[in-house]
A and B are shown apart, each in its own frame.
Chain A
């Protein structure tokens, strides 16, 4: 090959290398970027008035007067919607009319029997009122507009009307007048369609704004409040304004999702106006305000993580991590000291080393099964899942890491240290304890910190030994016998098994960010610590 080609080849090879390094960095950015970016959303977001109401009700935080003022203000803005809907409802849901009419008729009958009138007179009135009553019921039950209007006119222009003045029957005439107004607006033949759509609309409005003023208080917290986050509110607002329909007009392709405006369904009725009203006044209805919700870390979750924070999971992760370190540090460091300072290289030590290597290679899920089969089912450290069993399993998992890192750290201590201390008359034990260990301590610490990160992030070993999806924060002594939520497990649980996966994306992202930050922080501390040790070692030699 020509020299020039070889040079070019060399350069392009370098280029390829740099490109791979670039890919590596971009992989890191691609994975961490969205997690960071969206994870922040769990902490800093625009909270609506519903959010402040929820925080005040459930956690007792916030300025009471201010919140009540805000609630009153937003209720005022919402009144238009509620009024319009309840007006419309009356035309659609005739049940209430029928009920009321029956009540009035009964009342009138009682009134009539209490009157002191001659019997034929009474009978005539009774007959007339009954015929009016049955006519009105007929009108209410009918969906034929013309017929209904005829009947209503017939009732209103009844010659007997005067005779019912100042009796309970006047109420019925009132009802009839009101109903005839509604009939003018609403297409009665579509009543069933309207009813169906109205129920759907009301449900959508409930998820957006919380329960209607006259609703009984729902049991689940998630139904007691509307959307607490502005970004979710906008999604839900869109659900209120549009219906997703599939368009199959192009038969050659799959059905396309089309956003069909809901106002079209209610065209010509009073409800039609609420859609544009809702869109124009969304800010005064929901009053979004930027909040910094740092208490996400310290709040307990409500209603399976739909509201509140992730305290139990964070606490559980801490318990598990420190429990694992509690078991693995002494074992690991002593093993490392033995392997580096006391052991002679023979087949036994070779076996131990192979075993440590094997242990490091065992898949984490197998550790989980082992923990279940050994710690829980065989030696019964606890009757079922517990933090203790999980910590022990994790301890075995990180043991090789601790041993290897400590070994490495002890090996990097210069021989001269040991030799000097031995020459001063110290025994081997003393040299190890007072000279080598202190010198190796930062390195050992680095190893411990790295294994801490590993233990905090592991999921598979704790699935069968320690983790539950829902739970309260544990007290220290409860860790001996009780299972706990943990960040890693709850991330899995929330984004696969939760009943409202899409609703709580922000919680999932927040949880992932918390875990990633925790692990990264731990690792960055380790990296900095190691850099300082390296500097010191370089300075020494």
Chain B
């Protein structure tokens, strides 16, 4: 193969020569091995990443042991008597990832259903680039948005913003519940199908729900947010960043569900909603789970947004589910501390960052394996 690459003019002659099959076979073998070696670069890269991160993480565990690292929340790596309790960092990563999942999964899955089954072809052609552009925006641009635009907004009018978003989220849900509930209620009240009864039933269910929402939102709008750079901010932005992943992977698995399944369901008289909820989504369940896992991976591995907009306070908020307090994540700690720790290569302060990276790496590796398994399984079901 090497010979061929040196003389491209002879390429055809050498490849097509019918006489010398042995040379041909040897050349082909070498070619194969060369291609295989080049393909192996990615394997070697993964191996090296694991080896080198592990190699630099090991001294930390030798020096400091495991107990403090995983159980203490005291993160003072640069003090004279340093302590390396990374629990609050793990917690920070966990809370923003949870927040991102809460934001991105419902929206993403519904949007994926919309893409695969509801929108017309031409509208889909518009939506796909939108999702691609959302995915393409650099993370530092999202971070900039979170820090410079979103954080001041949250700080100044956070309560109102939360109240408005609670309306945006809850109104469709309440409408849905009202429609289902009024249908059920009306059929119980009278067997005759009357519009008036349905309207009354809808009012009976809808009014309390909306007053509840109104009270909730007026309660929320009183909240004062002391700092705009907090877990909520980061969760929302990470949610938006994870959306494209969730949408495209679930969309793939939904479109992969065979047409015959849908057609069978329609033939039995099901509406589109029933077909989707009872047939298509269960069939694509594996792919959707994989989408969620990939979304989690995207959120937990994200650095710039959390570094810029999470407030970087290494503590567990009080109470622990308080999204309005600043937190600090694994990735932001690595990015933020390495600049100083690099000066003291060889100390625990330097190696602890590799230990954090190792945890991150192992987590994403396991997630990846699980995700792949789910994708494979969903492929088996849908085909």
What residues make up the interface of A, taking CB atoms closer than 8 Å to B?
A: 1-2, 4-10, 12-21, 23-25, 27-28, 31-32, 34-35, 330-331, 334-335, 337-339, 342-343, 351-352, 354-370, 372-374, 377-378, 396, 399-400, 403, 425-427, 429-430, 433, 450, 453-454, 456-460, 463-464, 488-489, 491-492, 495-496, 505, 508, 512, 515-516, 519-520, 522-524, 527
Say whether, besides A366-B360, A430-B16, A8 and B111 are in contact (CB < 8 Å). no
Is B133's CB under 8 angstroms from A520's CB? yes
Q: How far in angstroms is the closest Cβ of chain A from B272?
A: 6
* B227-250 contact mask (Cβ, 8 Å, vs A): 1 or 0: 000000000000010010001000
Q: How far is the CA of A106 from the CA of B183 in the complex (A)?
A: 106
Is A492's CB under 8 angstroms from B357's CB? no
Is A352's CB under 8 angstroms from B28's CB? no
Binding site secondary structure of chain B? helix
Is A338's CB under 8 angstroms from B39's CB? yes
Is A364's CB under 8 angstroms from B142's CB? no
Say whether, besides A373-B354, A460-B304, A355 and B42 are in contact (CB < 8 Å). yes
Of the candidates B118, B141, B368, the one whose C-beta lies within 8 Å of that of A361 is B368
Say whether, besides A374-B48, A430-B16, A25 and B130 are in contact (CB < 8 Å). yes
B12, CB-defined interface residue at 8 Å: yes
Besides A1-B187, A10-B271, 12 new A-B residue pairs in contact (Cβ under 8 A), listed by A number: A4-B183, A9-B273, A12-B176, A23-B111, A24-B131, A27-B134, A352-B39, A488-B140, A492-B143, A515-B140, A520-B136, A522-B136
Interface residues of B in 131-171 (CB under 8 A from A): 131-134, 136-145, 147-149, 168
B87, CB-defined interface residue at 8 Å: no
Q: Which 7 A-B pairs have the closest CB atoms?
A: A457-B138, A363-B301, A5-B183, A13-B273, A17-B114, A10-B271, A338-B35
Is B357's CB under 8 angstroms from A365's CB? yes
Which residues of the other chain, A, contact B11 by a CB distance below 8 angstroms?
430, 433
Could you jot down 8 A-B contacts, CB within 8 Å?
A: A5-B186, A27-B134, A363-B300, A367-B49, A369-B53, A456-B138, A460-B335, A520-B133
Q: How far in angstroms is the closest Cβ of chain A from B332?
A: 9
Which residues of the other chain, B, contact A365 by a CB distance below 8 angstroms?
301, 303, 331, 334-335, 357, 360
Of the candidates A368, A378, A489, A516, the one whose C-beta lies within 8 Å of that of B137 is A516
Which residues of the other chain, B, contact A331 by a CB distance below 8 angstroms?
38, 41-42
Of the candidates A14, A35, A361, A505, the one whose C-beta lies within 8 Å of that of B273 is A14
Which residues of the other chain, A, contact B140 by a CB distance below 8 angstroms?
457, 459, 488-489, 491-492, 512, 515
Which residues of the other chain, B, contact A454 by a CB distance below 8 angstroms?
136
Q: How far is the CA of A15 from the CA of B114 in the complex (A)?
A: 10
Is A20's CB under 8 angstroms from B111's CB? yes
Of the candidates A2, A18, A34, the one whose C-beta lies within 8 Å of that of B187 is A2
Is A2's CB under 8 angstroms from B357's CB? no
Which residues of the other chain, B, contact A496 by a CB distance below 8 angstroms?
147, 308
Is A362's CB under 8 angstroms from B338's CB? no
- The closest CB in chain B to the CB of A431 belongs to B15
Q: How far is the CA of A338 from the CA of B136 in the complex (A)?
A: 28
Is A5's CB under 8 angstroms from B179's CB? yes
Q: How far is the CA of A1 from the CA of B270 in the complex (A)?
A: 12
Which residues of the other chain, A, contact B274 by a CB distance below 8 angstroms?
6, 10
- The closest CB in chain B to the CB of A384 belongs to B342
Which residues of the other chain, B, contact A357 by a CB distance below 8 angstroms?
368, 372
What residues make up the interface of B, taking CB atoms closer than 8 Å to A?
A: 11-12, 15-16, 24, 28, 31-32, 35-36, 38-43, 45-49, 52-53, 55-56, 107, 110-111, 113-115, 118-119, 127, 129-134, 136-145, 147-149, 168, 172, 175-176, 179-180, 183-184, 186-187, 193, 240, 243, 247, 271-274, 276-277, 294, 297, 300-304, 307-308, 331, 334-335, 338-339, 342, 345, 353-354, 357, 360-361, 364-365, 367-369, 371-372
Say whether, besides A358-B365, A399-B42, A457-B140, A523 and B133 are in contact (CB < 8 Å). yes
Say whether, besides A4-B193, A358-B368, A24 and B134 are in contact (CB < 8 Å). yes
Which residues of the other chain, B, contact A374 by a CB distance below 8 angstroms?
48, 52
Is A351's CB under 8 angstroms from B43's CB? yes
Which residues of the other chain, A, contact B131 by a CB distance below 8 angstroms?
24
- The closest CB in chain B to the CB of A333 belongs to B38
Say whether, besides A358-B365, A365-B357, A495 and B303 are in contact (CB < 8 Å). no
Q: How far in angstroms is the closest Cβ of chain B from A359?
A: 5
Of the candidates B35, B354, B361, the one whose C-beta lies within 8 Å of that of A362 is B361
A-B pair count, CB < 8 Å, reads 295
Is A488's CB under 8 angstroms from B272's CB? no
Say whether, besides A21-B111, A495-B148, A512-B141, A27 and B39 are in contact (CB < 8 Å). no
Which residues of the other chain, B, contact A464 by a CB distance below 8 angstroms?
338, 342
Which residues of the other chain, B, contact A433 by a CB distance below 8 angstroms?
11
- The closest CB in chain A to the CB of B182 belongs to A5
Q: How far is the CA of A330 from the CA of B183 in the complex (A)?
A: 62
Say whether, besides A23-B107, A429-B28, A523-B136, A35 and B141 are in contact (CB < 8 Å). yes
Is A352's CB under 8 angstroms from B40's CB? yes
- The closest CB in chain B to the CB of A363 belongs to B301
Is A508's CB under 8 angstroms from B148's CB? yes
Say whether, besides A35-B141, A496-B147, A515-B138, A352 and B43 are in contact (CB < 8 Å). yes
Which residues of the other chain, B, contact A34 by a CB distance below 8 angstroms?
145, 149
Which residues of the other chain, A, contact B39 by a CB distance below 8 angstroms?
334-335, 338-339, 343, 352
Is A366's CB under 8 angstroms from B139's CB? no
Which residues of the other chain, B, contact A515 by a CB distance below 8 angstroms?
138, 140-141
Q: How far is the CA of A426 from the CA of B31 in the complex (A)?
A: 16
Say whether, besides A24-B130, A28-B130, A338-B36, A366 and B142 are in contact (CB < 8 Å). no
Is B187's CB under 8 angstroms from A369's CB? no
Is A20's CB under 8 angstroms from B179's CB? no
Is B183's CB under 8 angstroms from A366's CB? no
Q: How far in angstroms is the closest Cβ of chain B from A344?
A: 11
Of the candidates B28, B115, B303, the one whose C-beta lies within 8 Å of that of A363 is B303
Q: How far is the CA of A378 from the CA of B35 in the complex (A)?
A: 27
Say whether, besides A4-B193, A495-B144, A495-B147, A373 and B56 are in contact (CB < 8 Å). yes
Which residues of the other chain, B, contact A488 by a CB distance below 8 angstroms?
138, 140, 304
Q: How far is the CA of A265 from the CA of B101 in the complex (A)?
A: 56
Say whether, besides A13-B276, A355-B46, A516 and B141 are in contact (CB < 8 Å). yes
Q: How far is the CA of A430 from the CA of B139 in the complex (A)?
A: 42
Is A516's CB under 8 angstroms from B53's CB? no
Q: How far in angstroms is the closest Cβ of chain B from A300?
A: 22
Is B364's CB under 8 angstroms from A363's CB? yes
Which residues of the other chain, B, contact A354 by a CB distance below 8 angstroms?
369, 372
Which residues of the other chain, B, contact A361 by a CB distance below 8 angstroms?
294, 297, 301, 364-365, 367-368, 371
Is A1's CB under 8 angstroms from B243's CB? no
Q: How far in angstroms is the closest Cβ of chain B from A437?
A: 13
Q: How far is the CA of A519 from the CA of B141 in the complex (A)?
A: 11
Of the candidates B273, B276, B303, B338, the one whose C-beta lies within 8 Å of that of A459 is B303
Q: How far is the CA of A200 from the CA of B3 in the complex (A)?
A: 78
Q: How far in angstroms is the closest Cβ of chain B from A381?
A: 14
Q: How far is the CA of A117 from the CA of B327 in the complex (A)?
A: 87
- The closest CB in chain A to the CB of B49 belongs to A370
Q: How far is the CA of A337 from the CA of B39 in the complex (A)?
A: 9
Q: How far is the CA of A281 from the CA of B361 in the complex (A)?
A: 62
Which residues of the other chain, B, contact A358 by a CB distance below 8 angstroms?
46, 365, 368-369
Q: How far is the CA of A365 from the CA of B361 in the complex (A)?
A: 10
Interface hub of A7, A18, A363, A370 (most chain B Cβ within 10 A): A363
Which residues of the other chain, A, contact B49 by a CB distance below 8 angstroms?
359, 362, 366-367, 370
Which residues of the other chain, B, contact A334 by a CB distance below 8 angstroms?
35, 38-39
Q: How far in angstroms is the closest Cβ of chain A from B280?
A: 12
Which residues of the other chain, A, contact B147 by a CB distance below 8 angstroms?
495-496
Say whether, besides A9-B273, A13-B273, A20-B114, A370 and B52 are in contact (CB < 8 Å). yes
Is A12's CB under 8 angstroms from B175's CB? yes
Q: How far is the CA of A516 from the CA of B140 in the complex (A)?
A: 10
Which residues of the other chain, B, contact A366 by a CB distance below 8 angstroms?
49, 53, 301, 357, 360-361
